[in-house]
């Protein structure tokens, strides 16, 4: 009887995969932050724009820039933000009018809080000490408790995002401290979870990273300007020199006197998000000294060692699957090929097909090169299987294009548990790997074989460093998760 129920469940799941109404499910990026302080007094809005453009992959729902002049009054901020991509929200005329030598920028995908204009960042607070502009990447696990406490104290919230909780805490602490960086530190002692922060006060730019180091943050310098950014690719885009990464638990403060560091909250160990290396970050970025492209090549090599198969060609699912596919090809000796053409102009904001339409969003994003795969045994390398819907559609596309066999290799272990630290991994009940075997998932997606990255070899992606978070695979959370899932709408 149990086997019958399991078979019926698999059948229903597979039918849902190919339903015209089924929305494509894949991992979403969290957010990207960028900050700049030009000590020579030059305008920074244009540079922040290009920095955000290079971080667009981290969030495609909304974006914003807030700038101010450090030689002006303490409340002189100029803010521009809205729903959509960077090149949709910011117009040249508007950027030219934004006059400020210090500022922060943000690109967003909602992991907590609805996808509405009110929740766009940076958040800008005007309070007794002046203006506070904040951009946040990550997710707090105690945001609800802190929000309730602040509301009982009279705080009025304008958004539903946990970033506003952080902003209020900093503003509140600033009333009782001598410096804004001390206020940031006091706030950090109360919040739990993942956060990389860029904060602009009337006279200082501050960067902070949570003690676990879940989310990346680095420091750059161009002439007499300092930059804080989620990834080093943003520094490359604007011609800035990479200085170093902000350490987990570190607070850096930039003033006209230079850069100052507070490492009193650095604990020595870390739990960096392994998926920054597998999927989220751009391949040309370096995170905590490790090349993202190298990590993905390593994952592919491991897959070739642990899940070999006779085939004619190795292909990657763009973009993050490409480097892993190259690693697999190099290690196995099987030729690497390009099987997919990607529509580079499709973001998260494209119009979903109506119920009556037969186009799927996968086909809008990707198309198969028939001449490359027809009659061939194909190894298809991708970064993950979340609900499996997208994988099933891509396997079907390859077979419809004439592939004789499709062997799927995944450059991460099976997803079994939700993430509470800024990655859009759903609840366990929605993850096939939580309740199904690898063989059952293989059947669900229609592949001829399926192999995942071995959990025991994950550390090789970080050159042997074991300071990473693998909770979405193991259920072992480095920070105690909330008792209820409060991650907000998706």
Is position 469 annotated as part of the catalytic site?
no
**DSSP structural state of residue 293:** H
CB 108 within 8 A of CB 56: no
Looking up tokens 């819907």, which residue turns up? 389
366 pairs with which residues across the strands?
342
3-state helix, strand and coil shares in percent for the chain, rounded to the nearest 5: 35, 25, 45
- Collapse the DSSP code of 447 into the 3-class scheme (helix H, G, I; strand E, B; otherwise coil) and give the result: coil
Nearest CA to 275 out of 195, 214, 192 is that of 214
* Intra-chain end-to-end CA distance of the chain, in Å: 35
Looking up tokens 């995944």, which residue turns up? 410
CB 226 within 8 A of CB 240: no
Pairing relationship of beta strands 62-68 and 102-108 according to DSSP bridges = antiparallel
Q: Which of 12, 17, 31, 233 is catalytic?
A: 31
Q: How far apart are CA 414 and CA 440, in angstroms?
A: 13
Q: How far apart are CA 120 and CA 108, in angstroms?
A: 7
Q: Where does 281-431 have alpha helices with state H?
A: 292-306, 320-332, 361-365, 370-373, 389-400
What positions carry a catalytic annotation?
31
């Amino acid at each position: 009887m149990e086997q019958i129920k399991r078979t019926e469940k698999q059948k229903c799941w597979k039918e849902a995969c190919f339903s015209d109404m089924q929305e494509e499910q894949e991992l979403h990026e969290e957010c990207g932050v960028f900050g700049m302080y030009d000590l020579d007094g030059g305008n920074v809005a244009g540079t922040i724009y290009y920095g955000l453009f290079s971080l667009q992959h981290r969030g495609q729902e909304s974006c914003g820039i807030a700038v101010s002049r450090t030689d002006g009054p303490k409340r002189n901020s100029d803010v521009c933000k809205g729903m959509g991509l960077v090149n949709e929200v910011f117009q040249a005329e508007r950027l030219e009018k934004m006059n400020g030598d210090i500022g922060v920028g943000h690109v967003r995908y909602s992991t907590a809080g609805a996808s509405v204009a009110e929740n766009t960042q940076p958040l800008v607070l005007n309070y007794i000490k002046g203006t506070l502009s904040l951009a946040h990447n990550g997710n707090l696990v105690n945001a609800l408790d802190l929000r309730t406490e602040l509301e009982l104290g009279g705080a009025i919230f304008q958004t539903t995002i946990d970033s506003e909780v952080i902003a209020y805490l900093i503003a509140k602490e600033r009333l009782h401290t001598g410096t804004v960086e001390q206020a940031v530190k006091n706030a950090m002692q109360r919040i739990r979870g993942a956060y990389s922060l860029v904060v602009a006060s009337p006279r200082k730019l501050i960067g902070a990273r949570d003690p676990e180091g879940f989310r990346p943050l680095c420091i750059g310098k161009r002439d007499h300007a300092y930059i804080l950014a989620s990834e080093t690719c943003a520094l490359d885009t604007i011609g800035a020199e990479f200085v170093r990464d902000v350490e987990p638990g570190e607070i850096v403060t930039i003033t006209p006197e230079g850069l100052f560091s507070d490492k009193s909250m650095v604990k020595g160990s870390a739990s960096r998000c392994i998926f920054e290396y597998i999927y989220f970050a751009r391949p040309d970025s370096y995170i905590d000294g490790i090349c993202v492209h190298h990590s993905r090549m390593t994952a592919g090599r491991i897959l070739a060692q642990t899940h070999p198969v006779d085939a004619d060609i190795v292909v990657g699912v763009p973009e993050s699957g490409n480097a892993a596919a190259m690693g697999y090809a190099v290690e196995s000796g099987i030729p690497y090929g390009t099987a997919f053409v990607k529509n580079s102009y499709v973001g998260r904001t494209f119009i979903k097909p109506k119920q009556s339409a037969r186009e799927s969003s996968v086909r809008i994003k990707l198309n198969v090169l028939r001449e490359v795969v027809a009659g061939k045994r194909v190894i298809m390398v991708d970064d993950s299987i979340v609900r499996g819907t997208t994988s099933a559609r891509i396997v079907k596309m390859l077979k419809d294009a004439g592939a004789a066999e499709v062997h799927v290799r995944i450059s991460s272990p099976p997803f079994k548990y939700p993430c509470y630290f800024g990655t859009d991994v759903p609840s366990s009940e929605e993850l096939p790997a939580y309740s199904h075997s690898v063989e059952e998932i293989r059947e669900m997606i229609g592949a001829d074989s399926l192999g995942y990255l071995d959990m025991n070899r994950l550390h090789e992606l970080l050159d042997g460093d074991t300071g990473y978070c693998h909770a979405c695979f193991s259920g072992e959370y480095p920070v105690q998760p909330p008792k209820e899932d409060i991650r907000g709408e998706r």
